[in-house]
Amino acid sequence: MRRARGSLLSIDVGERTWRTERVDDALRRFVGGRGLGTRLAYERVPFDADPLGPANRLYFAAGPLQTTTTSFAGRLSCTGLSPLTDGLLSSNAGGFLPGNFVATGYPAVELTGESADPLAVHIREGGVDFEPVPQLAGAEVSTVTEWARNTHALDGDHVACTGPAGDNAVRFAAIMTTDHRAFARGGLGAVLGSKGVKAITFDGDADPGPALDGAASEVASEIHREAAETEHVMKRQGTASLTSFANEVGALPTRYFSELSFEGADAVSGERVAEKKTGRGTCSRCAFACKLPTADEKRGIETEGPEFETIMAFGSNTGVDDLPSVMHANDRCDELGLDTISCGDVVSAYLAAENAFGDEKLVHDLIEKIAHREGVGDLLAEGIARCHDDLGVADWTMKGMEFAAHDGRALAGQGLAFATSNRGADHLYGSMYVYEYPLVDTEAALPADGLDGKAERLVASENRNAVLDSAIACRFSRGTLTDDRLATLLDASTGELNALGSRVVDLERGFNNRRGRDRNDDNDLPFALDGLSTALDSYYDRRDWTSDGTVPQARCDRHLGRE
pLDDT for 233-271, tens place per residue?
999 999 999 999 999 999 999 999 999 999 999 999 999
- What is the rounded (10 degree) CA torsion for 308, 376, 85, 51? 130
Look at residues 238, 290, 279 and name the one whose alpha carbon lies nearest to residue 72.
290
Rg (CA), the chain: 22
User: Is 554 exposed, middle or buried, given 0-12, 13-18 or 19+ CB atoms closer than 10 A?
Assistant: exposed
Which segments of 84-187 does DSSP mark as H helices, in order? 97-102, 141-152, 164-167
Helix (H, G, I), strand (E, B) or coil at 523: coil
* Phi, then psi, of 456 in degrees rounded to 5: -60, -45
463 and 541, same domain (yes or no) = yes
Instruction: Determine the 3-state secondary structure of 27 from DSSP.
Output: helix
* CA proximity to 76, closest of 186, 144, 193, 177: 177
Contact criterion met (CB below 8 Å) for 86 and 521: no
Distances from the Cα of 126 to the Cαs of 96, 129, 516, in angstroms? 21, 10, 41
Q: Looking at 348, 373, 402, which one is the last position of a domain?
A: 402
In a domain, 206, yes or no: no
**Is residue 205, in this structure, part of any structural domain at all?**
no
Q: How far apart are CA 112 and CA 280, in angstroms?
A: 38
User: Looking at the DSSP assignment, which residues form a beta bridge with residue 20?
Assistant: 9
In what side-by-side order are the strands of the sheet with 75-81? 17-21, 8-12, 108-112, 58-61, 75-81, 88-94
Give the rounded percent of residues in the chain with a pLDDT score beyond 90.
97
pLDDT recorded at residue 207:
87
pTM, entire model: 0.97
H or E segment to which residue 478 belongs: none
- Which CATH number does the domain housing residue 353 bear? 1.10.569.10
Q: DSSP class of residue 376? A: T
pLDDT in the model for residue 386: 98
Task: Map residue 132 onto helix, strand or coil.
Answer: strand
Residue type at 276?
K
Residue 155 lies in a domain: no
Count H helices and E strands in the chain, helices first.
Answer: 25, 16
Strand partners, 338: 173
- Give the domain-ending residue among 402, 429, 457: 402
Domain contains 307 = yes
Measured distance CA(428)–CA(443) in Å, rounded = 21
Length of the chain, in residues: 563
Mean pLDDT, all residues of the chain? 97
Among 358, 383, 359, which Cα is nearest to 370's? 383
The secondary structure of 37-97 as a DSSP string is: HHHHHHHHS-TT--TTSTT--EEEE--GGGGS--TT--EEEEEEE-TTTSSEEEEEEESSH
Statement to judge: residues 377 and 244 lie in one domain: yes
Same domain, 281 and 380: yes
Which tens digit of pLDDT belongs to each residue from 531-563?
A: 999 999 999 999 999 999 999 999 999 999 986
CB 119 within 8 A of CB 133: yes
Domain that holds residue 506: 412-559
Q: Does residue 396 sit within a domain?
A: yes
pLDDT band at 525 (very low <50, low <70, confident <90, very high): very high
DSSP for 426-457, written as a single string = -HHHH-THHHHTT-S-GGG---SS--TTHHHH
Tell me, yes or no, whether 458 and 502 share the same domain: yes
Q: Are residues 422 and 481 in the same domain?
A: yes
3-class secondary structure, 110: strand
Collapsing DSSP to helix, strand or coil, 15 comes out as coil
Q: Please give the pLDDT value at position 563.
A: 67
The CA distance from 92 to 464, in Å, is 16
145: three-class secondary structure by DSSP = helix
Average pLDDT rounded to a whole number, residues 25-40 = 98
The amino acid present at 474, given as its one-letter code, is C
Residue 544 lies in a domain: yes
Q: Are residues 268 and 320 in the same domain?
A: yes
The answer to whether residue 181 sits within a structural domain is no
Spatial CA neighbour of 73 closest among 85, 63, 87, 83: 63
φ and ψ at residue 131, rounded to 5 degrees:
-130, 115
Domain of 509, CATH number, reads: 1.10.599.10
On the CB side of 226, how many CA atoms lie within 13 Å of its CA?
A: 15
Q: With CA atoms as reference, report the closest residue to 494 among 545, 460, 538.
A: 460
In a domain, 33, yes or no: no
Shared domain for 353 and 427, answered yes or no, is: no
Q: What is the mean pLDDT of residues 155-161?
A: 97
Same domain? 250 vs 397: yes
Instruction: Examine the domain organization and report whether 248 and 373 are in the same domain.
Output: yes
Amino acid occupying residue 80 = G
Last residue of a domain, one of 402, 436, 464: 402
Rounded Cα distance, 397 and 87, in Å: 14
300, exposed or middle or buried, with CB in 10 Å at 0-12, 13-18, 19+? exposed
Beta-strand runs (E) in 390-432: 397-398, 401-402
The DSSP bridge pattern shows strands 119-124 and 197-203 to be parallel
* Structural domains of the chain, count: 2
pLDDT in tens, 70-85: 999 999 999 999 999 9
Amino acid, res. 206 = A
- 369/418 same-domain check: no
Same domain, 306 and 331: yes
Whether 413 and 436 have beta carbons less than 8 Å apart is answered as yes
Residues 252 and 345 reside in one and the same domain:
yes
Report whether pLDDT(343) > 80: yes
